[in-house]
Structure 1
Amino acid sequence: MGYQIITNCPVCNEVLKITKLQCTHCHTTIENEFELSKFATLSQEQLYFIEVFLKSRGNIKEVEKELGVSYPTVRGKLNEVVSALGFADKKSDLDDKNVIDMLDKGEISLDEALKTIKKN
């Protein structure tokens, strides 16, 4: 069994490049500069979140149930993954008024509301 690929240098923390590929069957070796997928740079937790999100077909309510977390937590994890993949950060679609409305309806706790407002 192989090791999980590392994407950053353990000495200087710069991005590593893959320069060698080898076939385990015939031992053919190819050397060049190969690029990693953006997904290779995600943490195990982020990859698991993506798996759950895709399995749920983007249904946040189902993601909440599977992970046992609240709506703002799912949104936060999604925003974290989007940012980690290098996509432009958009202003959170949960503005302060929406958060207060959700709190008023009992959809989120006071702690979750405060955390979400602080992130905005």
Structure 2
Amino acid sequence: MAFPLLTDCPVCHKTLTVTKLHCSNCRTNIENEFALSKFSSLAAEQLRFIEVFLKCRGNIKEVEKELSVSYPTVRGKLNEIIEALGYSDRTKQKVDKKKVISMLDAGEITAEEAIQLLKENEEDA
């Protein structure tokens, strides 16, 4: 039975290093210090979101449908993952009010979602 990969030490909470690989077929063991991708430190829920996002080819409306969540929720989850991957030092992009209004006019978001986006934009400013 395989367990999910641990990325943080349960004792001191520092990042763990993978030092051994094992083939269960031929029993080969390889020892060295191996690098993990940034994605290995993401939570299972975040990885699931990335799968859905890629499957939907980045179409947020499709992600909304697939996950049964609102546009602001999709946007929030995406921002959370971007920060978890270490890109949080970029300045937060401001929401273009005209874009929000055009999305509302096109029926891409509800009035409540538009209000939430505009409020988030004010809080980030």
TM-score bin (small chain): 0.7 to 0.9
Q: When the two structures are superposed, what TM-score results if normalisation uses the length of structure 1?
A: 0.82
1:107 aligned residue? 110
Partner of 1:30: helix, strand, or coil?
strand
In the TM superposition, what whole-angstrom CA distance separates every residue of 1:23-68 from its partner, at most 9, and x where no partner exists?
1112111111101111110001100110110000000111111111
- Does residue 116 of the first structure (1) align with residue 117 of the second (2)? no
Check the 8 A contact 1:9/1:15 in 2, yes or no.
yes
Partner of 2:86: helix, strand, or coil?
coil
- Go from structure 1 to structure 2 and tell me whether the alpha carbon gap of 1:94 and 1:11 turns closer, same or farther (over 3 Å shift): same
Check the 8 A contact 2:94/2:121 in 1, yes or no.
no
- Aligned positions, number: 119
Check the 8 A contact 1:21/1:31 in 2, yes or no.
yes
Partner of 1:79: helix, strand, or coil?
helix
Partner of 1:85: helix, strand, or coil?
helix
RMSD over equivalenced CA pairs, Å:
2.6
Query: Counterparts in 2 of 1:90-101, with a 5 A limit?
Result: 90-94=91-95, 97=97, 101=101
- Go from structure 1 to structure 2 and tell me whether the alpha carbon gap of 1:117 and 1:28 turns closer, same or farther (over 3 Å shift): same
2:72 aligned residue? 72
Identical amino acids, percent of aligned pairs: 54
Q: CA deviation at 1:101?
A: 4.3
Please list every run of 5 or more consecutive structure 1 residues that lacks an aligned counterpart in the other structure.
none
Q: CA deviation at 1:114?
A: 7.4
Partner of 1:86: helix, strand, or coil?
helix
1:89 aligned residue? 90
Partner of 1:25: helix, strand, or coil?
coil
Distance 2:80 2:20 in 1: 31
- Go from structure 1 to structure 2 and tell me whether the alpha carbon gap of 1:26 and 1:53 turns closer, same or farther (over 3 Å shift): same
